[in-house]
């Protein structure tokens, strides 16, 4: 039996997950997202990635970005490192793809804000 705290929302349900006859039984969750998270955490843990990339000519030197969906938890550090090498040019629109298929995860990185030119 594994104890887990759900990270899907700020409620933070304290859950237990148990592997039984090839399936995973989850309890303590207040909503279906908790069960989904617990099963994912036991089989293939994933996390959203948020970081910044350099932007040239914008009102600020950095552009915040995020993965358009979760990436494998073990890949977060490598992806952040890879993204630190990227430099984009202003203007950028929120939602613009900044990096495709980052570190072969199959996940794209998108801008989480717009950046106007200085």
Partner 1 sequence: MKTDVVVIGGGPAGLAAALKASEHADVVIIERDKELGGILQQCIHNGFGNFIFKKMMTGPEYAYHFISLVKKSGIRVMTETSVLEIDGNKKIVAAGPSGIVEIEAKAIVLAMGCRERSRAQILLPGTRPAGVYTAGTAQRLINIEGVMPGKKIVILGSGDVGLIMARRLTLEGAEVEGVYEIMPRPGGLTRNIVQCLHDYGIPLHLSHTVTDIVGKERVEGVKVAEVDESLHPIKGTERFISCDTLILAVGLIPENELSRQAGIEIDEITNGPFVDEHMETSVEGIFACGNVVHVHDIVDDVTASSEIAGEYAGRHASGKNGHGMGLEKKHNIKVVAGENVRYVVPQFLRHMDMEKLTFYLRVKEEKEDALVVISCSGKVVFEKRERMVKPPEMVKVSVPASLLEGADEVRVDVRCRNG
Which residues of the chain form contacts with partner 1 (CB under 8 A)? 5-10, 12, 14, 30, 47-48, 50-52, 54, 59-62, 64, 66, 73, 76-77, 80, 84, 94, 112-114
The DSSP element (H or E) to which 115 belongs, if any, is none
Q: How far is the CB of 106 from partner 1 (least distance, A)?
A: 19
63 DSSP β-pair partners: 53
Q: How far is the CB of 24 from partner 1 (least distance, A)?
A: 18
Q: Which is nearer to partner 1, 19 or 69 (CB)?
A: 69
Q: What is the DSSP string of 77-88?
A: HHHHHHHTT-EE
Instruction: Provide the 10 A C-beta neighbour count for residue 19.
Output: 12
Instruction: Provide the 10 A C-beta neighbour count for residue 115.
Output: 24
Q: How far is the CB of 18 from partner 1 (least distance, A)?
A: 19
Q: Which is nearer to partner 1, 6 or 26 (CB)?
A: 6
């Amino acid at each position: 039996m594994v104890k887990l705290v759900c990270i899907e929302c700020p409620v933070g349900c304290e859950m237990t997950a148990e592997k039984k006859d090839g399936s995973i039984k989850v309890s303590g969750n207040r909503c279906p997202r908790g069960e989904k998270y617990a099963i994912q955490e036991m089989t293939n843990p994933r996390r959203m990635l948020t970081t910044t990339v350099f932007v040239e000519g914008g009102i600020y030197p950095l552009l915040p970005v995020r993965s358009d969906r979760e990436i494998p938890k073990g890949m977060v550090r490598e992806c952040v490192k890879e993204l630190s090498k990227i430099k984009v040019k202003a203007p950028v629109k929120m939602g613009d793809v900044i990096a495709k298929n980052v570190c072969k995860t199959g996940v794209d990185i998108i801008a989480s804000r717009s950046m106007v030119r200085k």
